[in-house]
Amino acid sequence: MILTVTLNTALDVTYHVPRLLPHASHRVCDVRERPGGKGVNVARVLAALGHRTTVTGFAGGPTGEVLRGSLDGIQDALVPCAGSTRRTVAVVDATTGDTTQFNEAGPVISAAEWARFQDRYRELLGTARAVALCGSLPPGLPVGAYAVLVRAARAAGVPVLLDTGGEALRRGVAARPDLIKPNATELAELTGSREPLPAALAARRRGAHAVVASLGPAGLLAATPEGTWQAAPPQALAGNPTGAGDSAVAGLLSALAEGLDWPERLARAVALSAATVRAPAAGEFDPADYAGLLPAVHIKSI
C-alpha cells in the first residue's frame, strides 16, 4: 500500500464561463466537483497506475462528506474534524483559457484532533511501502507538523516524500526526508539560491536525502546521493499545467516504492506530468499518451 497524507483536503469546484469579467454577473456553462488537495490528487494518479493507495488527513462537515463519497478506487483513512473541509473554486475563462483560483484556508484543527491523526498515521505506516506528505497546513496545526510526520515515517522504516513550501518545508527538511519535491520558487525560498542546481545541493545539506525540483516546461532536476540529472519532455507542451506537479509526485513515489533507479523514476515523473498537461481535463492523464511519452523523455547526467 502507498500512503498519501493531505492535512488540508479540499473539494475542488470548477466553473466554466464564456468570459470572466470583473464586477459582472456570469452564467456558468459547466460545473464540476472532485475531491482535492495535493495528496488526494497524487493518490488518484497512483490508483490510475494500478497501485493500492490510501489517503489520510482531515475531513469534516458537509463538504468533507461529499469529498469522502467521491474517493473512487482510493482507500479512505481520513480522520474526522469538527470544522468543515475547505473548497477551492476555479473559474475557467473559455475565451482565453485562463483560470482564476480561489482557495479557502481550511478548518481549524484542535490539539485533540491532531493527536488522533498522529495515532492513525502511525497505524497506517505499519502497512505502507512509501508515504507522501503533501500540501499546505490547515489552521491550528504547528508549523513543524510535517517534521513530526517525517520522523515517524523514518522510525517505521517507510520512505517518505515531502511536497510542501515555506516554513513547513524548512522544518520538514531538517527531519531528513528521503525526498523533497519543491518547485523552483519553493527551492529558492528554502535555500536563498535562485540557481536550481546549487539550490538543490544546498537543500541536501539542510537534511533532504534527495531533491527533485520542478523547473516548469524544462522538466525536473534531481540531486541525489547517486548523482545529479535533468529530465525533460521530448518537446514544448501546450495545455493546462494544473495537477502536473502532483502527477510528477505520483510518478516519483510509485517508482520509489517499486525500487526503480533514478533515471527511471525521473522518466516516469516527467512523462506523467507531460501527459497531465496535454489532457483535456485538468489533473487527469491519458494512459496511452503517458506510455508514448515515457520512452521519449530526455535524461542527462549533470
Q: Taking a C-beta distance cutoff of 8 angstroms, is the pair 44, 74 a contact?
A: yes
Q: In terms of C-beta density within 10 A (0-12 exposed, 13-18 middle, 19 or more buried), how is residue 241 classed?
A: middle
Cell triple for residue 60?
469534516
The answer to whether 241 touches 277, Cβ cutoff 8 Å, is yes
C-alpha span between 132 and 130 (Å, rounded): 7
Q: Which three cell numbers stand for residue 100?
A: 482564476
Q: Retrieve residue 228's grid coordinates.
A: 545529479
Instruction: Out of 12, 163, 178, 246, pick the active-site residue.
Output: 246
For the question of residue 76 being annotated catalytic, the response is no
The three three-digit cell numbers of residue 19, written as one number: 468570459
Residue 178 is given by DSSP the state S
For residue 224, the surrounding DSSP H or E stretch is strand 220-224
Within 8 A by CB and 6+ apart from 79, the residues are: 56, 57, 58, 59, 113, 116, 117, 120
Q: Residues in the chain, how many?
A: 302
Q: What is the C-alpha to C-alpha distance for residues 80 and 255, in angstroms, rounded to an integer?
A: 31
Beta strand pairing call for 86-93 and 99-103: antiparallel
- Distance, first Cα to last Cα, the chain: 34
Catalytic amino acids? 246
